[in-house]
Amino acid sequence: AAANLIERGDRVLVISTGYFGQRFKDILDRYGANTTILEAPLGEVVTLEAIEKELKTGNFKALTITHVDTSTGILVDPEPIAKLAQKYNTLSILDGVCSVAGEEVNQEKWGLDIVLTASQKAIGVPPGLALLIASEKAMEVWKNRKTPVGNYYADWTNWLPIMKAYEERRPSYFGTPPVNLIVALETSLKIICKEGILARVKRHQELARAFRAGISSLNLEILPKTSQIAANTLTAIYYPKGIDGSALLSKIASKDIIVAGGLLSKIKTTYFRIGHMGSVSSNDLFAVLGALEHALLELGYNMDPGISLQAFQKELLKAGIK
């Protein structure tokens, strides 16, 4: 997105809710963008008023939105931001790495110019593929750029003839693709289509709601300050007071459950993250909560054994999940 749409000196607004907002700024800076970053307070989202105030200063070529920031578990509503981008004739770029196929995304309806993701999260494929969909407006901006794209292998000039040839079922060469991952992607997309994207998004929402109920029953706090901005693909959880984080993760790992430590540098030792996306089932999350409970009890945390499993089960029953 940055390589093809941004030229040196272009103004870009980055709307950040964590580590990957800053990452987007670093990428844009490499392509010579004049970047402004709006950082949300920890556990919150950037307000629409703040975004519009910045857009009013004029001539932003693009803005970026991190739909779900993997470092914080914050979920942003892209639709009103995309509408603001249209109002100010600004391209909108959605980082959907931790959201596509797990959260609701309506690119055309919302007016998003770019939606990008990767293969390894809710798509459910091993890492290695970048997936991107561009609007006609974005393609026009790219066609009318004044300078060559500064990244040879990311240049749409090289990829579009390959895609056109593929659609016409004739051979064409630019670079050898990772055919094993493309076969895996085809398999995963068939699974997603069989489930149905609306049903898949609903499943993520219901599992996340039940999982957060389990976490809350343990008197553990999550990073998002409200449930409305808590992601349905991943949960970021503060370590309880008096519990050593590294010891907790080690004990969970000893039970064959792998969770992630903190990523946001200023607070990385105070929290951990649990993914619940893609093919993750309620049975998987029962195992996670069981391992978390057991580890907390071993470390002397004061709680009623089984309480998170009960809370999780109650929410599943309410949602009708078997």
pLDDT digits (tens, 9 = 90+) for 147-204: 999 999 999 999 999 999 999 999 999 988 899 999 999 999 999 999 999 999 999 9
Task: Say which residue the tokens 């343990």 belong to.
Answer: 218
Type of residue found at 106: N
Residue 94 has pLDDT above 80, yes or no: yes
- Provide CB contacts within 8 A for 195, sequence distance 6+: 203
The per-residue pLDDT of the chain, averaged, comes to 97
CATH number of 2-150: 3.40.640.10
Q: Please tell me the predicted confidence (pLDDT) of residue 77.
A: 98
Task: Say which residue the tokens 């950040």 belong to.
Answer: 16
Task: Say which residue the tokens 């991190």 belong to.
Answer: 66
CATH number of 197-319: 3.90.1150.10
The kind and range of the H/E element at 21 are: helix 19-30
Q: Please tell me the predicted confidence (pLDDT) of residue 315.
A: 97
Cβ atoms of residues 72 and 225 within 8 Å: no
Q: What is the mean pLDDT of residues 309-319?
A: 96
Type of residue found at 179: V
Residue 59 to residues 35, 95, 112, 163, Cα–Cα distance (Å) = 12, 22, 18, 33
The β-bridge partners of 60 are 11
pTM of the model: 0.96
Type of residue found at 75: L
182-196 exposure pattern, b = at least 16 Cβ within 10 A, e = fewer: eebbeebeeebeeee
Q: Please tell me the predicted confidence (pLDDT) of residue 275.
A: 97
**Domain segments of the chain as ranges:** 2-150, 197-319
Cβ atoms of residues 43 and 224 within 8 Å: yes
Q: Please tell me the predicted confidence (pLDDT) of residue 4.
A: 98
Cβ atoms of residues 68 and 75 within 8 Å: yes
